[in-house]
Amino acid sequence: MRTRKDSPQNSSYGPGGDGAQIAYAIVDSTLGRLLVAGTERGICFAAMGEADATLVAELRSDYPRASIRVFDPNRREDSRIARWADALADYLAGRSKMPAPPMDIRGTSFQFAVWDQLRSIPAGETRSYSEIARRIGRPRAIRAVGTANGANPISIIIPCHRAIRASGHLGGYRWGLERKRKLLQMERGATSRSGQAVQDMP
């Protein structure tokens, strides 16, 4: 049963990033180049890939109406972007806890319900799309859950890599199945060594 209208939730910007001032940083990681972007309110995009130009093009495609710039280390409001990127890279290397920066994302109530379920899955574990659908009270919405999973704008922090098919197969992943496989392997190893935790970030 729905408790709220399935309408876009509050963010600091409108559709397509309308009105947003977004800065981004790109760093190396164990899974390739890592782009992290955010507004003054919080992180709004994170992606992995091989080429910086491709990652920036994805950011601009997701936020076509936003003003987008590379982060300026001399701007106080941009300094958080670099910290978030470094923290996420450290997590991917198994050197730190899962970062939990503030988020500034836009989505429907259904999408947020799916994303909240993804974030509740412990590191190193997985859930099937059908199980996620049951947990949000929409057991027949398995395909819609998969679509919401794919629409997740913040890779890793909203851990869509922890969603798999009921058969146990990994299913799809926007940044490639090999990255999904390595992410899960890293989390299982890190969890067995040090337990689960998240690191709150300003």
Task: Say if 1 falls within a structural domain.
Answer: no
Final residue of a structural domain among 57, 82, 100: 100
* pLDDT for position 2: 37
For this structure, is 44 an active site residue?
no
* pLDDT for position 151: 92
Q: What is the CATH number of the domain that holds 47?
A: 3.30.160.70
Nearest-CA neighbor of 125 among 188, 62, 189, 41? 188
Same domain, 170 and 135: yes
Final residue of a structural domain among 100, 127, 160: 100
Same domain, 83 and 117: no
Same domain, 151 and 72: no
Active-site residue, from 160, 183, 184, 190: 160
Local structure of 110: helix, strand or coil? helix
* pLDDT for position 3: 37
According to DSSP, the β-strands at 43-49 and 32-38 are antiparallel
Q: Helix, strand, coil shares of the chain as percentages rounded to 5?
A: 40, 20, 40
Q: What is the CATH number of the domain that holds 185?
A: 1.10.10.10
Domain that includes residue 139, residue range = 109-197
For the chain, residues with pLDDT lower than 70 are 1-9, 191-202
Same domain, 75 and 93: yes
* pLDDT for position 9: 60
Question: Which residues, 6 or more positions from 87, have their beta carbon under 8 angstroms from its beta carbon?
Answer: 96, 99, 101, 199, 201
Task: Say if 10 falls within a structural domain.
Answer: no
Q: Dihedral of the CA atoms 71, 77, 79, 80 (nearest 10)?
A: -110
Calpha distance 54→71 (Å, rounded): 17
94 backbone φψ class: left, alpha, beta (φ>0; ψ -120 to 50): left
Length of the chain equals 202
Calpha distance 195→107 (Å, rounded): 31
Same domain, 43 and 94: yes
